[in-house]
Amino acid sequence: MPQPLNIRLFEIALGLSLGILFGHYSGVMLPHGDVIYFYIALLFTLSYLLIFRVNKQLWWFNRLWFFTLWIGLGALHYTHQFPKAFQNNSDLALYRLDNASYGLNALELKHELKPWGISRRYLAKLHCPGINSPLSVLIHTRDSLLIPHLGPDKTLWTNAIPMEIKSGPNPGGFNQKTYYHSQGIQHSVALKLDQVYCWEQHPLSLRAKAKSINTYLAKYWREAPISHEAKALALAMILGQTEDLTAEIKSEFAAAGALHILALSGLHVGLLVLLLQWALRGFKSLPFGDKIYPVLVLVALWSYALICGLSPSITRAVCMFSLWQLGQIIRRPMSGSNSVLLTYVLLLWWAPYWLFSVGFQLSFTAVLALTYIPAQCQKIGYPKNKIYRYFTELSVVGIAAQIGVGPLSVFYFSQFPLLFWLSNLLVLPMVTPLLTLGLVISIGCLILPIPELIWQVWDQLLQLILWIIGWIAEYDHLLLKDLNLLWGLVAAYYLIALFLWWSLQHPWISHRRILNLLLPYLLCGVLLGQIIHSTFKKEKFPEFTLLHRYKSTVIIAHTPKGHIALLNGQNPNKRVLSEWSKHHMVELIGTKSLPPVFSFDGVPVVVIDAQGIYPALRHGIIILTNNANIHMESLINDLAPCMILADGSNAKYLVDLWRKRANTFDQHFLDTYTKGAIETDGLQFKTYL
């Protein structure tokens, strides 16, 4: 019989998570070095034994001390595995631009990341004098002469200087610093061929070999005699390569709430496990079948992970199911909840920065919901008819997954599809035969030619899925868009959900006490906190924002009627305006053309464009746009501005030149290339001309 929820394992998982969060947000630099782990382990063991032996009645203090030590261990491990930002790390001082070392350093390429446009990206380890451990960096290049020479497990000797990855330029936009942080990367190197002096090839690592297998199989799919859409879906569903998917296909799957079908995740591994259980069930009747069966499942799962290139999402899912199978081998059956917790702890210990990965969060919240809700619904009872029962179980699984990931989806993607249950009901039954057929084709094409009939069947099945998804996506009014959800509400939701998930599986807590006493108190506390927050919160909206936009100027100003966007150029900038509006939770009342002169808080604002013509308005704000044709010294002498602003409509080299000239005359100069959008709070927009 599977064991109940392991409370100590839950405490370790929660303490490790809180410790990682503390190490990330506190900014405290904890000591480095592997020896500190020995002292922590020694302190943990001695204190645990001492408290228990001195007074067994202080069990509550023992548990609290156990939990606190894991918080400290999580914070220590995070800072050890993921050093602080480059300006706070003395080991990286040699890479400051004013103190840079131009010697050659080694860049060891680990594996290739998904390309962005024409830019190729690699994860690499930087080895150089003065750094005790190698530094994970992002290598990106557009040099067509260099790209053919790049590959996994190559070491490049270069004098390129790593730079800290900055946040997104505009509020609410894509934050590349957060994105790369969740992959353990804080620095990037823009590489060119003339910066590489020599390179050497090393034996491929396991992940590089898996990636080469994945790429080799993808070549056969791209040459298959099927439609382009079918090829793109096959590469995404079987091998995890989403580069060939068009924006239209992605938007339709997102609108139908079926985007998880395209992204390799625990869903595909779970379907594969069900398929293996059915296909290998005959081994259970053989001598030592209870050992042979889980071993075969493990081999099949990790073979599938290799075919998928050992992607992080597949590796996480395979690890969880592997722990479950190992429990069968050692005759210690493990419940789904305990296998999820153990996998969670092991993965966070391996890569603590995964806690900030959106995929990691979505995976585990979905799995936690699926380990409890369907089992409880099964206790209530399903229809006896097999057909009704099958579709009821599918519906319950889809709803349970949305209960787990719904708030996170709204928080990160600002949308929620109401027809997710319909797409799961119609498409999920087809995924298992498609996955099976796709794996058979992928392996079979290495041995012998695939018959034309099989290709036609595959093409028709995928065309049917595309038709179903397109039909559901037509009901776009059932896709809730532009949703805003505060992080405090998301945290409160998952706090309550985690409390229920833990307490209703706790072996020593009465369910009636939880539902009648503890849960109402928790809900009242969350409600009271929300009331206090909304009562004392002072809404602060930026009164003036100069966004960073390539070849165009976007200004958002607060007028007595509301916030309005002032634009120049033909690009309406709908996306950047929508992102700003969602970030500040402010609705724009409209857009207008950017005038050459207007007033802000009684201060004249002069916009100078490529013509370089400006009125004689002194002591105002100057905005330079469209590579303004000016002479900085004459401009400062003529207008004596209180500040000069420059945005992304100007060339970067020109902005750098203006900045240097302005600093020469002690002129206050700000530009969006340096720190992104320029926002001014506390001022009131009074007059718009």
What's the rounded Cα separation, in Å, for the pair 208 and 96? Answer: 32
Q: Report pLDDT for 87.
A: 39
For residues 23 and 102, membership in a common domain is answered with no
334 in Cβ contact with 1 (< 8 Å): no
The string of DSSP codes covering 648-687 is: TTS-HHHHHHHHHHHHHTT--EEEHHHHS-EEE-S-----
For residues 100 and 15, membership in a common domain is answered with no
What's the rounded Cα separation, in Å, for the pair 687 and 147? Answer: 53
Going 96 to 102 to 108 to 112, the CA torsion angle's sign is: positive
Using one digit for the tens of pLDDT, what is the confidence trace for 195-208?
A: 887 777 777 777 88
What's the rounded Cα separation, in Å, for the pair 17 and 77? Answer: 11
What's the rounded Cα separation, in Å, for the pair 444 and 224? Answer: 13
**In this structure, which amino acid lies at residue 424?**
N
Of 513, 536, 559, the position where a domain reaches its end is 536
Of 152, 181, 203, the position where a domain reaches its end is 203
For residues 532 and 605, membership in a common domain is answered with no
User: Would you say residue 20 lies in a domain?
Assistant: yes
CA distances to 28, 79, 155, 389 from 76, in Å: 10, 5, 31, 49
Going 254 to 394 to 316 to 21, the CA torsion angle's sign is: positive
pLDDT band at 569 (very low <50, low <70, confident <90, very high): low
For the chain, how many structural domains are there in total? 4
Cα of 534 vs its chain's centroid, Å: 29
For residues 650 and 552, membership in a common domain is answered with yes
At 488, which helix (H) or strand (E)? helix 487-503
pLDDT band at 533 (very low <50, low <70, confident <90, very high): low
For residues 509 and 613, membership in a common domain is answered with no
For residues 591 and 654, membership in a common domain is answered with yes
> Of residues 284 and 567, which shows the higher confidence score?
567
User: Would you say residue 261 lies in a domain?
Assistant: no
For residues 47 and 117, membership in a common domain is answered with no
Using one digit for the tens of pLDDT, what is the confidence trace for 450-502?
A: 888 888 888 888 888 888 888 888 887 888 887 888 888 888 888 888 888 88
For residues 641 and 519, membership in a common domain is answered with no
For 446, the token pair is: 């290495």
User: Would you say residue 323 lies in a domain?
Assistant: no
Task: Identify the CATH number of the domain in which residue 96 sits.
Answer: 2.40.50
User: Would you say residue 353 lies in a domain?
Assistant: no
Q: Report pLDDT for 686.
A: 37
Using one digit for the tens of pLDDT, what is the confidence trace for 629-670?
A: 888 888 888 888 888 999 888 999 999 999 999 999 888 898
For residues 548 and 673, membership in a common domain is answered with yes
Of 502, 520, 536, the position where a domain reaches its end is 536
Alpha helices in 308-419 (DSSP H): 312-329, 336-350, 358-370, 373-380, 386-413
For residues 573 and 653, membership in a common domain is answered with yes
73 in Cβ contact with 349 (< 8 Å): no
For residues 632 and 550, membership in a common domain is answered with yes
For residues 58 and 22, membership in a common domain is answered with yes
Domain that includes residue 177, residue range? 90-203
User: Would you say residue 619 lies in a domain?
Assistant: yes
DSSP assigned state of 167: P
User: Would you say residue 586 lies in a domain?
Assistant: yes
User: Would you say residue 232 lies in a domain?
Assistant: no
**In this structure, which amino acid lies at residue 27?**
G
| pTM metric for this prediction | 0.83
User: Would you say residue 159 lies in a domain?
Assistant: yes
- Given the structure tokens 């702890």, which residue do they identify? 345
Using one digit for the tens of pLDDT, what is the confidence trace for 323-339?
A: 877 877 777 777 778 88
